[in-house]
């Protein structure tokens, strides 16, 4: 969250000149790949040369406090949509091009009761009531005027359906 040192476009997978790492002679188009490769480098230094890196949580806050630069619906939508596109390519990183990157989106639902800064409560693709926080291009969802996701069942069915969607995130669902 330091826009004076990190280009927002670099962080949200938008077009940028990227960063060239003089030490490794590798070029990075986005911060995500650079962070995954930093993990690979640390593991390698510790003697774990073949251990895969799986990103267990990644996301972007759709709302934040005044001092939380970049936390907005548009940036969250852009980050998560572009993350989907990146993962759908099923490719590696500049440092490990043959190791397909796997990642899990944080979070499925906003956590309106979570303490801390506003951003901590606003990472979800869905609001606590089941309505969509913002669209990242999943096909098959229907929207009412209140942007509620209608599956024709209870909130439990909504949660189950959304979990299945994420398990299939970069395999079956097309990016639009």
User: Do residues 73 and 62 make contact, with C-beta atoms less than 8 angstroms apart?
Assistant: yes
Active site residue 114: yes
- Which residue matches tokens 């669902």? 173
**Catalytic-role residue among 57, 63, 77, 142:** 57
DSSP 109: B
Give the dihedral sign, CA 72/77/82/88.
positive
Q: Give dist(CA 52, CA 39) in Å, integer.
A: 10
**Catalytic-role residue among 44, 88, 120, 127:** 120
DSSP 99: S
User: Do residues 147 and 131 make contact, with C-beta atoms less than 8 angstroms apart?
Assistant: yes
* Residues ≥6 apart with Cβ < 8 Å to 26: 20, 37, 94, 95
Active site residue 57: yes
**Catalytic-role residue among 14, 63, 111, 127:** 111
Indicate which residues carry an active-site annotation: 57, 111, 114, 120
């Amino acid at each position: 969250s330091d826009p004076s040192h990190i280009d927002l476009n670099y962080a949200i997978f938008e077009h940028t000149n990227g960063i060239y790492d003089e030490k490794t002679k590798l070029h990075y188009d986005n911060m995500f790949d650079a962070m995954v490769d930093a993990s690979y480098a640390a593991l390698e230094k510790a003697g774990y040369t073949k251990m895969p890196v799986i990103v267990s949580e990644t996301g972007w806050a759709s709302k934040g406090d005044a001092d939380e630069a970049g936390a907005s619906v548009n940036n969250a939508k852009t980050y998560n949509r572009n993350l989907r596109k990146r993962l759908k390519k099923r490719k590696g990183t500049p440092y490990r091009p043959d190791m397909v990157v796997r990642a899990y989106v944080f979070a499925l639902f906003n956590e309106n009761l979570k303490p801390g800064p506003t951003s901590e409560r606003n990472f979800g693709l869905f609001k606590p009531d089941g309505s969509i926080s913002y669209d990242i291009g999943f096909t098959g969802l229907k929207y009412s005027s209140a942007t509620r996701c209608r599956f024709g069942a209870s909130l439990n069915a909504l949660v189950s359906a959304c979990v299945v969607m994420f398990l299939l995130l970069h395999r079956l669902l097309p990016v639009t």
